[in-house]
Structure 1
């Protein structure tokens, strides 16, 4: 079980550090998209944007410190739930806001983002609830868990690009 927990920690850590880094690069775009979602009063948007980035950074930092990893997974679970609720509210209001979860994407928020957050929340909960053994593991298994979690984390962070790979190519362009 410890390798599954470690893989979950790497997956969630990768997703959250990718989110932090991309939001810092395109922070104003993130603020703008949060404003356009209209899930918060306009006066709270900038503070909420800063809080999201700080909380996402806290998830990564907690996951990087073994004794704090459960707190990081719990915070990730809560954030993913909050993000999903905000997206669902925005969708219900028929807002077509670009997903700025990971930077400057122009893909509108949709159910794929809610599903991604749900899957990530399940991963975080699994990592939190499974027993983690303190005994040192085998180096090769630890490496496989870390690489697999990191790869899946990058795939989750680039979900919009992964989805586009499987969409049909428009026949109107040469």
Structure 2
């Protein structure tokens, strides 16, 4: 059963990081927007190289997670990069930096707690890959697990920010009390 989890996890993370890479690398405008986000978080001089390094890591994760032989390295790189992302967003929140993440190119969200939750969930998928070794599996269940991983990734990339915003809005205490009519 753990092999099917690994297949689904590899597909989920590879798809998410491939979408993230392609979303930023697809055009000069998107790369520049991502560099601007990085510049808002760190020094100007380091922004270009760091943005390039992040793009390289995202592409490497997507590639490393595909073959089982390199999946462990892909999981390790994903866990490391996600940890850096979580720390960076915490730093931005703590310092009052208002910026878009540029995570998926045009499909972006403001740096905040929903992004921390999103990256924490992805980290929770990546960490078991460091522990569980991939092995030989039957083709049909492996294909089903791979399809499930890709489908979850698509839903995750498209709808998680919206869902998190709604949950946080629901949990947020009301600032203005509702008026009640006497009666």
TM-score (norm 1): 0.86
Partner residue in 1 for 2:131: 129
- C-alpha displacement of 1:110: 1.0
Contact 1:6 1:127 (C-alpha < 8 Å) held by counterparts: no
Partner deviation per Cα, 1:102-148 (whole Å, 9 max, x = no partner): 11245311111101111111101112212432x2x222211211111
Per-residue CA deviation, residues 24-43 of structure 1 (Å, 9 max, x unaligned), is 1311111111112x2x2110
- 1:15 aligned onto 2:16: yes
Q: TM-score, normalised by structure 2?
A: 0.82
Q: Distance in 2 between matches of 1:97 and 1:88?
A: 13
Q: Deviations over 1:58-97 (max 9, x none)?
A: 1111112221110000000000000110011001111121
Given candidates 16, 33, 37, the residue that maps to 2:37 is: 33
Which residue is 1:153 aligned to? 153
Aligned-residue CA RMSD (Å): 1.8
Aligned to 1:116: 118
Aligned match of 1:4? 5
- Dislocated runs of 4+, deviation >3 Å: 161-168
Q: Extract unaligned runs of 5+ from structure 1.
A: 169-174
Q: Is the 8 A contact 2:6 2:129 kept in 1?
A: yes
Which structure has the larger Rg?
A: 2
- Looking at structure 1, the residues matched to 164 and 116 of structure 2 have their Cα atoms a distance apart, in angstroms, of 14
Corresponding position of 2:78: 76
1:60 and 2:62 correspond:
yes
For 1:143, the equivalent position in structure 2 comes to 143
Task: Specify every segment of 5 or more residues in structure 2 that has no aligned partner in the other structure, as ranges.
Answer: 171-183
Aligned length, in residue pairs = 164
Q: Structure 1 residues 106, 140: closer, same or farther in 2, change over 3 A?
A: closer
Q: Would you say the 8 A contact 1:9–1:149 is kept in 2?
A: yes
Which residue is equivalent to 1:172?
none
Q: Which residue of 2 aligns with 1:50?
A: 52
